Amino acid sequence: MAPRLRETGSRGERQAGRGAGETELEFDRRRIRDRMAELRRELEAVHREQDHRREHRAGQPTVALVGYTNAGKSSLMRALTGSEVLVADQLFATLDTTIRALHPESHPRILVSDTVGFIKKLPHDLVASFRSTLDEARHAGLLLFLVDASDPTFRDQYAVTREVIGEIGAMQAPSRLILNKVDRLDEEQRAELQREFPDAIQMSALNKDDVARLHATIVAFFGQALVEAELLIPWPQHALVAQLHGEAQVLSEAHEEAGTRLHVRIEPDTLKRVRGALGEVEA
């Protein structure tokens, strides 16, 4: 509002807080500037909090659902995690990033993040909410590019999304294209898409079997990255045992005098973190 403010003529009474010699217009401008500064500080705090949480999740396998607005990201998120995120047939239904665990749960736990939809010319007031999407995408171990395959313009939307993700340097993570909403297409259209995008996954986020297949694909993808390790958790650090049951596949567990010996299949980054917590030097 600040640039559009006009002098409205003095209303006689001076507003509280208005400085000596300050016109009403100057006063209003100053108030708006103060409010903007305050909001920027709050936003910074939110970003710090997000960064902090992301650090906390470091090493936890994460899938990011990215794509144009209305592609069906939140619907898929809901189906994959059994959570109640907002799904709506409108642009920008989702305005922040949501993270939930894949359900039924896998070991290690896999996180799914639903993000803000992409659009060609991002309106300015959405840039801030969009930042968390880009941050999530940058840190994901697997990117799922969702498109609404029943929308004739999906190729352009896919290109824009890939371009933005590429610009922020997030394309190093493996990605898969998901042609969503194929329930709206006939056999012939599906066959055509199959020829054009042989590596894509055709599915409907509203179809249980399709979702179960994708679930299995995701679990298998992260399964490849696991390494086997043996860890001895001393009794004073016993909380780590419970934690490892969540964060790794525990193949065997034996109680010894010094602590609990675990044989696990685990993400390399998580292993590094656990070894750090145990004070072990890396093998």
Ligand X SMILES: Nc1nc2c(ncn2[C@@H]2O[C@H](COP(=O)(O)OP(=O)(O)OP(=O)(O)O)[C@@H](O)[C@H]2O)c(=O)[nH]1
Between 111 and 248, whose beta carbon lies closer to Mg ion?
Answer: 111
In the complex, the smallest distance separating the C-beta of residue 107 from Mg ion, rounded to whole angstroms, is 28
Residue 96 vs 253, nearer CB to ligand X: 96
* Eight-class DSSP state of 68: B
**Shortest distance, CB of residue 119 to ligand X, whole angstroms?**
9
Read off the tokens for 128. 């801030």
b (16+ CB within 10 A) / e for 119-144: beeeeeeeeebbbbbbbbbbbbbbbb
214 makes contact with ligand X (CB under 6 A): no
Q: Given the structure tokens 């990033």, which residue do they identify?
A: 97
By CB under 6 A, is residue 73 in contact with ligand X? yes
Answer with the entry of ligand X, Mg ion, none that 204 interacts with (C-beta below 5 to 8 A by kind): ligand X
Query: Within 10 Å of residue 70's Cβ, how many Cβ atoms?
Result: 20
Among 66, 71, 177, 248, binds ligand X (CB under 6 A): 71
Q: Please report whether residue 89 would count as binding ligand X according to CB under 6 A.
A: yes
Give, as one character, the DSSP assignment of residue 184.
G
> Which pairing describes strands 259-266 and 227-234: parallel, antiparallel, or unpaired?
antiparallel
What is the amino acid identity at position 181?
A: K
- Do residues 200 and 177 touch, judged by C-beta distance below 8 A? yes
Q: Does 94 bind ligand X (CB under 6 A)?
A: yes
Binding mask 166-205 for ligand X (x = CB under 6 A): --------------xx-xx-------------------xx
Work out whether 129 is an interface residue with ligand X (CB under 6 A). no
Here the tokens at position 68 are: 């144009």
Q: How far is the CB of 189 from ligand X (least distance, A)?
A: 14
Q: Which residues bind ligand X (CB under 6 A)?
A: 69-75, 87-89, 91-94, 117, 180-181, 183-184, 204-206
